[in-house]
Amino acid sequence: MLVVALLAGIFVASMIPTPTQMLFPTHAVPSPEPLPPTARDVSLKAPDGAVLQGIVIPPATQAERRILVLGFGGNAWNGSDVAVYLHRLYPQAHVVAFHYRGYRPSTGKPSAKALLADAPLVRDRAVALVNPDVTVAAGFSIGSGVTASLAGEGLVDGAILVTPFDSLKAAAADLFPWLPVGLFFDQEIDAGAFLSGSAVPVAIVAAEGDTLIRPARTQGLRQMTRNLVFDRTIAGAGHNDIYDRPEFAAAMQEALGKVTPTKAK
């Protein structure tokens, strides 16, 4: 009986997705929507040989300053759609977004550690392409943690965090309270620690009814953020339908103004 039980346990364990598979469902990412005709493809090669593919969309309207908005999407977004979405929100800005490693057409294998390591490379490539006066990173869901890391290193002038968390491990533990998440979850992004010592202005846009990133995780981030200049919670919105709310677009536009310094560094 013991042998049977052990075999059954091994079988069940083999059917449970790993943290990497749950966090980075590369197979479930939809095909990108059409890009505007002004968009162009860019790429960069990481030190480990992975090739990251990205998109640059120039502004559709004139602006006094050359603003770069660098986008980091959620774990089921592709970089093209991130760029298109930000271009619609901020037609006055240059927008750059890359497909995370392991998300076609980028190569490599995704992990929290790899995304954090790739972020400064993406930032440097985008700045070299645009030569902006001001650089703002906008991160959605897991991308909010990547954005927080850039703010923590002082590599951007402002950061906009949508449905963010203080700790990716803590967010996962909230979703699976009956599992010893801390024993096997190796995909940490400690956004709170990144922002606790950063003077970069930060905006938070949260969803009141978010069941994936629980309110306690966003509240923890608020408390740890040293320079929180804008904080808006969209009433009744969930983690995914927040983007359909007109008040969300208004909050994002207001957030950009709050985190954009009068003068570039």
Q: Where are the domains of the chain?
A: 40-259
Structure letter (DSSP) for residue 157: S
Q: Which of 85, 93, 96, 98 is nearest to 133 (CA)?
A: 93
Q: Cα separation of 170 and 212, whole Å?
A: 11
Q: How far is CA 221 from CA 126, 190, 251, in A?
A: 27, 10, 18
Q: What is the pLDDT of residue 6?
A: 31
Task: Centre a 10 Å sphere on the Cβ of residue 178 and count the other Cβ atoms it contains.
Answer: 5
Question: What beta strand segments (E) does the chain contain?
Answer: 40-45, 51-57, 67-72, 94-98, 134-140, 158-162, 202-207, 228-234
Q: Sign of dihedral through CA atoms 130, 132, 135, 136?
A: negative
Q: How far is CA 224 from CA 56, 130, 152, 189, 228, in A?
A: 33, 32, 12, 14, 9
Question: What beta strand segments (E) does 166-252 contain?
Answer: 202-207, 228-234
**Local confidence pLDDT in tens for the 265 residues of the chain:** 433 333 333 333 333 445 566 788 888 788 888 899 999 999 999 999 999 999 999 999 888 899 999 999 999 999 999 999 999 999 999 999 999 999 999 999 999 999 999 999 999 999 999 999 999 999 999 999 999 999 999 999 999 999 999 999 999 888 877 777 666 778 899 999 999 999 999 999 999 999 999 999 999 999 999 999 999 999 999 999 999 999 999 999 999 999 997 754 4
Our separate counts of H helices and E strands in the chain read 10, 8
The residues, any chain, with a CB within 8 Å of residue 26's CB and separated by 6 or more, are: 102, 103, 104, 110
With respect to CATH, is domain 40-259 assigned 1.50.10.10? Answer: no
Tokens standing for residue 58:
């120039």
Q: Which of 39, 44, 19, 20 is nearest to 107 (CA)?
A: 44
pTM of the prediction? Answer: 0.90
Q: What is the pLDDT of residue 263?
A: 55
